[in-house]
Amino acid sequence: MRIFWITVVLSVISASSAGSASKHDPIIDANRNYQKYQAAVEQTGQKLPRSSKAVSQALKRLTEHKPNELGSGWIAEGARQVSMNQVFKSGVIQAVLAAGGVDQFAAQLETDPNSVMKIPGAGNGMRAAFNNIKLHDQYYDWLSGSLTAIARGNKAKLAPSFGAVVIPRPKPSSLALAKKVVSARFLKAPPHSMGQRNNLSVVGRMMVLAALDIAGTTRTDQGISKAEGLLNSSPMTGCLSLARQNLQQCLAASRGKSEKQFCAGQHAIGEVSGCFDWILPPNY
């Protein structure tokens, strides 16, 4: 009987999506910006830029996107990781059934976004996103440290494939300080909290987007604008804008290749990484 009802819910979800489906998927579209940044980081790590021309090319790749686009792309990446978690996916199906349908489920999340954490498997989905953030952050830390090392005339080994588990280099003290400043500047509540109803945290946005994505409502005409709103976080955009400003100021004051390498490592990668990983719980 349980399998029967799950099958019914899946059919309802599929029908709901198909009924008013749009070719535009805001989560996939937003995530493309992060995937391009990810590819630029990987390309930089595969062949660390040592000539002036290579440094300029790397900086061009790493700064291709506007801060709001990169922030939305990162939130979409988190939502994608959550929605792929099978335990949470099963929990959403149960929640849709309990709510009486997809529309009712979406309305419940609209009224109380924090209720997403009451869905069975929400913790599993959130950990999937956190693990992904941590994995990427290790790579960013490695590359940031490597660029700083070669800027100072030290040798640095080539990075492994993106996403491989590596032991991150210790972050330079200036970068650690910058991350604390960023957190203090934009954060008023614990970084892993769900936030308030009208000001959802980045984690909250990832979770709600994932739930709506599983239910199929982010691809409907009515749900696209809601999804686009969830993808845009002022603290995330503000943090990435500050990182971009710091990079521009660093480059404006730089003299020569090594100083540009230092700017790239500190701000185009290291500080951007700080904007991504400040949503992790302490000591994660």
Domain for residue 157, yes or no?
yes
Domain for residue 43, yes or no?
yes
Comparing C-alpha atoms, which of 28, 4, 19, 49 is closest to residue 269?
A: 49
Domain for residue 284, yes or no?
no
Prediction pTM value? 0.79
Mean pLDDT, range 1-12, rounded to an integer: 46
Domain for residue 217, yes or no?
yes
Residues spanned by the domain of 20: 2-277
Domain for residue 210, yes or no?
yes
Domain for residue 226, yes or no?
yes
Cα separation of 178 and 110, whole Å? 35
Between 262 and 165, the higher pLDDT residue: 262
Domain for residue 194, yes or no?
yes
Domain for residue 282, yes or no?
no
Whether 244 contacts 67, CB under 8 Å: yes
Band (62; pLDDT cuts 50, 70, 90)? very high
Mean pLDDT of all residues in the chain? 81
**Total tally of structural domains belonging to the chain:** 1
Q: Tens digit of pLDDT for each residue in 72-114?
A: 999 999 999 999 999 999 999 999 999 999 999 999 999 999 9
- For the chain, the farthest-separated pair of C-alpha atoms sits apart, in whole angstroms, at 71
Whether 73 contacts 65, CB under 8 Å: yes
Q: Phi and psi of 21, rounded to 5°?
A: -70, 145
